[in-house]
Structure 1
């Protein structure tokens, strides 16, 4: 089976623009939902005659993420089998067409169908663009750009929410014009990106190159499953506060959407800061386990503190801790996955990671509602989950320190 060479050495003068373009592709993930989010009440009112529209409208918002979770593993397999660039360019173009189609569709069910298809092409764009980061760059630069993926996605989320709200104030249909921007990305990708060179396992020079760059040469399914489950847990814990801030504020008698929006926006800034700080950790050579300790640990501590908060100011302060921990955690699980994938399984491994991660984001509110039925309130639920995450954080370090040699790569390099 062919493997894909790391071709960072041929990037040359295009390296910075290429990296920027790949990061812009990452921004299409938050765009899928956030541009539409501020306009849900107007969309619901426009289609008010449709039965159960109050349930169907939020489903239209979240369905791309669910579809992405289901199809990302399939996309990963396809990109390993048929290549990267063509899938990325065609899917980005389709993303732009489908995303903007609600401007012209008069049937809500057609809009819903377009959102389902949008989720599939979103899965292709995010999976393949992330895979190309693995293909184009060496291990150290991958860490940098994978962390910057979270930075770009978090920063663009703030921008898209504001833009969607502004355009939606004119017309809810006008907000969907933003989805035409990816067509520009597709054109630029066709010009500036390239299909990575393929080599076979029989190429001795390539085998030597892999050893010299400490590339992983074995695909360990059970070990990778552990990483993907960790990604699922990271997604569940990350989405808790993103969704539950208004409900948490309501428990202390604060029902202002403006307050909830301000706390969400400021905590997102701290997510961005966390993604930048984690790059310093990589340069210092700090282990994945240490980053997992900080990420899960800070989120767990924030949940414990939030469960006892009595003012909106306290909730804001503890949300900043949560955001900073999330900014460390999300790039860490991404890098951990990437650096343990052999080149010939990179697309599949990233697709599986995306599947677990997106399903975690989708199922997070369901889990919280379910636990609330036993604990009696959201603060009690956070007070239950917080210590569990702290224990999980400690376990990550203990497991990394004492795990069996059987789980180490055959190259005998230090395990991630």
Structure 2
């Protein structure tokens, strides 16, 4: 029987294979909701006699997020107890079963229940893939992998969104079979990744940096990052929730066109996030997040004024550039602040913020859409993103002033000992 890979084995022979598995896990998290968005109009039509079918159909793109929000606070602690690799593989299998269940379930309520199982899987995948990148890689290599994980999700999203639009044209149920990719990725995860637990990451050899004690409360920077993740996801998920209806009802184009518009955003996100390591050296977290929200605001402004589908694609391109900076910045920010023994828990907080934003996106935007219409709602989101950008710049100035006044705190954030 082949021996189970260990952390030491990973350092000698499994480094590249393990990195590939963790990077590809990003494709699963990004496809969790967006891949079915081109099929939502068809699902709505299929269940038109169901009460509140319009809202329930839209919730298919985000119902898994509620399960993630409820489960993620426990998923981090569970992962640290049973081991991060085991939790990651369990999540991949739950992803496959819950996601593909929509292919055969008979009504909207049962499909939404399957999306809850999908959400449990996504929670375990996202928490443990990010935590294991922090466990096994450091410094520039860690930043590069966080960027590549976002890029893998984006590039995979391009294929899956366009393919989802094409599959939706054949029949909306066919789209759900794409989620079986989770089961396929579970096999290399078992063979290429070592098992890591909180004790292993806390008991680091001398010379690999100090082990910081767990904090009783979240650092202010982490709180800011969680708020930015929540607001960024409300903005991000309003695109797959609302754009298909704008494309089909207002511009009279098909599901392939709506999938292509959304795919432009994810493609740009991938291209930008591939360059995250050098981008990260240009500025601090607050400045990068401010730039990301400014790009999101400009993108939504274009969407609100777009007279044609091609102009919608221009708006999503600008937004994609912002998201390509935002996601790896926030992942690295939170994991960098986390004590090694609490990385899964911090990643759980980040996952909760991410998917709470996704879940609330249709809840927040749909009443505004009913009152104003889709494009005026995009103008409201643009104004909100611009305000967040200004707030991040102000927060960055306060952080810089605090660091200048407290050099010991600044040294501790870098992982160094403060000057005597």
TM-score > 0.5, shorter chain as reference:
yes
Stretch deviating more after TM superposition (16-25 or 30-39):
30-39
CA contact (8 A) 2:161 2:263 kept: no
The alpha carbon displacement at 1:371 in A equals 5.8
Which of 318, 323, 328 aligns to 1:321? It is 318
Structure 1 match to 2:231:
233
- CA separation in 2, counterparts of 1:226 and 1:19? 28
The alpha carbon displacement at 1:287 in A equals 2.3
Structure 1 residues 132-143: aligned runs within 5 Å: 132-143=132-143
- CA separation in 2, counterparts of 1:369 and 1:109? 20
Structure 1 match to 2:3:
none
Which of 269, 272, 291 aligns to 1:271? It is 269
CA contact (8 A) 1:38 1:164 kept: yes
CA spacing shift, 1:151–1:308, aligned 2, 3 Å: same
- CA separation in 2, counterparts of 1:151 and 1:37? 20
Which of 263, 277, 295 aligns to 1:298? It is 295
Structure 1 match to 2:284:
287
Stretch deviating more after TM superposition (151-160 or 40-49):
40-49
CA contact (8 A) 1:146 1:331 kept: yes
CA contact (8 A) 1:22 1:129 kept: yes
CA contact (8 A) 1:372 1:381 kept: no
Query: Alignment length, in residue pairs?
Result: 405
Structure 1 residues 145-184: aligned runs within 5 Å: 145-184=145-184
Structure 2 match to 1:3:
none
CA contact (8 A) 2:293 2:385 kept: no
Deviations 1:44-71 (A, max 9, x none): 4555554444443333332112211221
**Is residue 366 from structure 1 mapped to residue 366 from structure 2 by the alignment?**
no
Structure 2 match to 1:342:
339
Unaligned runs of 5+ residues in structure 1 are 1-5
The alpha carbon displacement at 1:374 in A equals 8.8
Stretch deviating more after TM superposition (331-340 or 55-64):
55-64
CA contact (8 A) 1:70 1:359 kept: no
- CA separation in 2, counterparts of 1:135 and 1:350? 12
Structure 2 match to 1:403:
402
- CA separation in 2, counterparts of 1:56 and 1:311? 28
**Is residue 190 from structure 1 mapped to residue 203 from structure 2 by the alignment?**
no
Structure 1 match to 2:79:
79
Structure 2 match to 1:95:
95
CA contact (8 A) 1:296 1:390 kept: yes
The alpha carbon displacement at 1:320 in A equals 2.4
- CA separation in 2, counterparts of 1:21 and 1:337? 21
The alpha carbon displacement at 1:311 in A equals 5.8
CA contact (8 A) 1:248 1:378 kept: no
- CA separation in 1, counterparts of 2:102 and 2:179? 10
CA spacing shift, 1:9–1:210, aligned 2, 3 Å: farther
The alpha carbon displacement at 1:133 in A equals 1.2
The alpha carbon displacement at 1:109 in A equals 3.7
- CA separation in 2, counterparts of 1:198 and 1:249? 48
CA spacing shift, 1:249–1:356, aligned 2, 3 Å: same
CA spacing shift, 1:109–1:412, aligned 2, 3 Å: closer
- CA separation in 2, counterparts of 1:250 and 1:104? 26
Q: How much is the aligned-residue C-alpha RMSD, in angstroms?
A: 3.5
- CA separation in 2, counterparts of 1:328 and 1:143? 12
- CA separation in 2, counterparts of 1:289 and 1:385? 17
CA contact (8 A) 1:218 1:409 kept: no
The alpha carbon displacement at 1:245 in A equals 4.2
Which of 348, 351, 356 aligns to 1:351? It is 348
